[in-house]
Chains A and B, each alone.
Chain A
Amino acid sequence: MDQDLPLLDRLLAGEETAFDTLMSKYQRSLCHLAYRLVGNAADAEDLAQQAFVQAYQHMGSFQRQSSFKTWLYRIAINLCKNHRRRLRPSEPLSEEQPLSDGRPGVLSQLIADQRVERLRRALSSLPPRQREVLVLRVYDELPYEQIAAIVGCSENSAKVNFHHAVRSLRRQLNAAAAVRQTSFGELVL
């Protein structure tokens, strides 16, 4: 049973603090999901807020055929998708640097890591569906059944997209490594 249903019932009965509890539970994962999909922290936060606003406004029409989390993620994914569609087709995602938490060391080391940066770029260049499935699988560790319900495809299609995404990332990383080797060779020559 969906653990959020009692909260939804309380919310529908007029207890607004139940929605605060739901937000506390999902805001972090929703912000991260949106960030992985749109590549911009400010936009991600805005989209996550929009997702909660839509969920609240349409709570009455939630059919409970899926879990609340699936429904909420579906709203967020579609908002992100629409957001990306509004960008010009040729415009790449603005993969900004993550916000520093003020502590030197771990984050700055990661940011400096070229491999991480290449991976970030590769991730942002994946087709939307592959990126959605990969993000939901790797970061949210959702089962394929739930991923399929969120992105609106079959379970097998979710698996296929995950495979394509991983292999596409690997190909891009291999290509980047080859370019680096070539450049090095030219420099040596």
Chain B
Amino acid sequence: MRPFGKDRRAGYLIEYLDATLSAPERATLERQLQERPELRQRLEMLKRDFADLAALPAALEETPAREAQFRAAVWRRLHAQEEHSAADSRRRPRGWFWAAVPLAAAASVALLALLGPIGRFGQSPPAELVRAPLPPSELGLESNWTRFTKDQLEQASTALYAAVLPESAQPYVEALAPSAEEMLLELDPSDLDLALSELERAGATESRSSGSAT
């Protein structure tokens, strides 16, 4: 379906300027342009819009020195973050990963409260799960994380449970799968790679530590 809406002619003109019309459509439009001055006028206006858009001045001064400064700034930030994360990793994993724990904890507590004294959920949750939840905005979580497949989400959820939550919490966490998926869905698309990377890193760390323990 063509994305033209009601004004099909404007749609064709835009595609004409955008060079995405097929050859027959282009030929038809060019014939119409020859016959209809008002169409030519509309095309001229659109042409001018495109040209003006393309001509909007850039904001950033571009000199070799400035570009070198830019790259140096990126390296400074990287080194600063490496130092920070090296210090941080001695204390605890960083980033959104741990920010997810309060959410999982809150959901767990809510679930336990709902389920009450039914089966294994009648037990008290481990103390480490009972933390004050933070609002998502404070955790830097964003909405519209919808580009990923269900498999990816499930994989991320599973790894999340295995890597973040203590073993003693596993029985409670099993019941949280839908909530955790929803939680993952709240993340911004830019966080996919961050999330997967954190998950992989956490998984690798865990493998190493369990390997060295044995």
Contact = CB atoms under 8 A, between A and B. Distances in A.
Contact of B59 (A24, A98, A119, A137): A98
Interface string B167-204: 00000000000000000000011100110110010000
Interface in B38-90: 45-46, 49-50, 52-62, 67, 70-71, 73-74, 77-78, 81
B60 A44 contact: yes
Contacts of A79: 190
Interface string A1-45: 000000000000000000010011001100110011000110011
B150 interface: no
Contacts, number: 130
A120 B188 contact: no
A186 to B, nearest CB: 25
Given A23-B70, A32-B58, A138-B50, A56 B78 contact: yes
Chain B contact surface mostly: helix
Contact of A75 (B58, B62, B190, B200): B190
Interface residues on A, range: 35 or more
A52 interface: yes
A116 interface: yes
B60 A31 contact: yes
Nearest to B191: A78
B36 interface: no
A53 B11 CA distance: 40
Among the interface residues A50, A75, A159, which one has the most CB atoms of the partner chain B within 10 A? A159
Interface of B: 1, 3-5, 7, 10-11, 14, 18, 20, 45-46, 49-50, 52-62, 67, 70-71, 73-74, 77-78, 81, 142, 147, 188-190, 193-194, 196-197, 200
In the A-B complex, the 4 residue pairs with the smallest Cβ-Cβ separation, listed nearest first, are: A78-B190, A160-B3, A61-B197, A41-B59
15 contacts: A40-B59, A41-B59, A52-B74, A53-B81, A57-B197, A60-B197, A78-B189, A82-B142, A116-B55, A138-B53, A159-B3, A163-B3, A163-B10, A166-B50, A169-B53
